[in-house]
Amino acid sequence: IQREKTAYVLYEQLGLPWSQMDYVRLWINGNDHRVYADVFNADNDYVKYFWPEDAGGNFHKIDDYFEFDDSFGFSNRDAHLTNYGTKKEEYRWNFEKRDDDRNDDFTPMYDLVRLMNTSTANPTVYEANIEQAIDVEQWARVLAVRKIIGDWESYGYNRGKNMYMYRRPSDGRWVLIPWDMDFLLGNGDGPSSPLFGGVGTAVNTFLGYRKFTKIYL
């Protein structure tokens, strides 16, 4: 719990969205049920807190998708920004809608994956499309902190999960929201882990592109 709280403090210091955490010792009918973390959950209230003048946008949880077989074994697919066109069923599980679960419109997600998978053959077009799709500085900082703390079980690191995405209505750009940091600060990857390498071609291309690499570093 202390490790995760420390990580959130680091996000706060960098001007990134973070979750307030407090320690709670739970007692039920006189019985001590140990210490828990009371964490500011990433939901619509969270969005209103960090973007009070820019709420009401598209809000998704990034998570992996599990498929179980008849013998109760399973396989999973990490969330990644592969362009599946308008096949919304490919996005429902990995990018679960949290702003309005009754609304099945994934059009903004289609636009995001299309722009993020732009070829780098024409640098001018690539840069323009990436900067139209995401808040580049914000993404670079969020992904960098995950590397710094060694939390490999996160989107843009070794997994496609434990993050949220929010699309600001004012500029239509997506931002990342960190969540669920368990394997970190000595409990995850060590200090000699590579700075690059992530889930999916789109993120790797983004971090490996010279202009955005400099921002990331």
With tokens 């990018």, the residue in question is 95
CA dihedral 208, 109, 132, 14 (to 10 degrees): -70
pTM above 0.75, yes or no: yes
The per-residue DSSP string of 53-107 comes to TS-SSEEEEE--EEEE-TTS-EEEE-------TT-THHHHTTEEE-S-TT----H
pLDDT, one tens digit per residue, over 93-150 is 999 999 876 788 999 999 999 999 999 999 999 999 999 999 999 999 999 999 989 9
d(CA 78, CA 93): 10
Q: Which range is most confident: 9-18, 39-48, 85-94, 130-139?
A: 130-139
Q: Encoding tokens for residue 9?
A: 């403090």
d(CA 38, CA 24): 6
Pairing, β 21-28 against β 163-167: unpaired
pLDDT for position 202: 93
The DSSP call for residue 11 is H
